[in-house]
Amino acid sequence: MKRIAIFASGTGSNAQKMLAHFQFSHKVKVGLIVSNKPQAGVLNFANEYSVPILLLERERFLKGDGYVSELQTAGIDWIILAGFLWKIPATLSKHWEKRIVNIHPALLPNYGGKGMYGQAVHRAVLAASEKETGITIHYVDEQYDHGATIFQATCPVLPSDTPESLANRVHELEHLHYPLVIEKEILAQSD
């Protein structure tokens, strides 16, 4: 059994899909929901699925020990980012090398980097009159939105789109693919 920690700062719709997907799995278990925001919506899903919560304090996470011991005690094999806003510190990327994955709501390397989060991404895609956008699932290194790509999927950008309508379309793509891509990647690396 591989145990994952989901890191999320926001509403947690991707985390919810992940929790539902792995609920009865004998191969992958969500062992921890990790957040930097005590009010984050994702924490309601953690409670709903009876998954323990780890709340992060900024200084300790970014400049201290990165909560390595808590993650190790929970037996975490993989770290899955789902709308997590802080940069992953070197101490974590060292301990979980090639075992940290992120999802980004655009086709990287475009529309990524610091500040490119949620609606800001979709506003930039619309401002550039792109005809297509999508999602990127990728390994995490010490730069924002940077590590090797695992998977991309695309969807159209319509002339009538607003940042909200585009966000909804991209979210659907994320929900469809993220749990399956994670499952496939974890099982492939476990062989």
- Which residues of the shown chain bind ligand GAR in the complex (CB under 6 A)? 8, 10-15, 82-83, 103-105, 116-118, 121, 145, 171, 174
104 is catalytic: yes
For residues 141 and 191, which CB has a smaller minimum distance to ligand GAR in the complex? 141
Cα–Cα distance for residue pair 156/180, rounded to 1 Å: 22
For residues 26 and 148, which CB has a smaller minimum distance to ligand GAR in the complex? 148
Q: Which residues contact 54 (CB under 8 A, 6 or more apart)?
A: 5, 32, 33, 34, 35, 67, 70, 71, 74
The secondary structure element, H or E, covering residue 28 is strand 28-35
Cα–Cα distance for residue pair 128/9, rounded to 1 Å: 27
**Closest approach of Cβ 171 to ligand GAR, in Å?**
6
Which tokens in the block code for residue 155?
């969807």
For residues 14 and 71, which CB has a smaller minimum distance to ligand GAR in the complex? 14
For residues 74 and 116, which CB has a smaller minimum distance to ligand GAR in the complex? 116
Q: Write down the catalytic residue from 21, 26, 95, 104.
A: 104
For residues 71 and 82, which CB has a smaller minimum distance to ligand GAR in the complex? 82
Handedness of CA 144, 43, 189, 184 (dihedral sign): negative
Instruction: Return the residue nearest ligand GAR (CB atom).
Output: 83
**Closest approach of Cβ 14 to ligand GAR, in Å?**
3
The secondary structure element, H or E, covering residue 68 is helix 68-73
Distance of CA 183 to the CA centre of its chain: 14
Beta bridge partners of 175: none
For 129-181, the DSSP string reads T-SEEEEEEEE--SSTT-S-EEEEEEEE--TT--HHHHHHHHHHHHHHHHHHH
Catalytic residues: 104
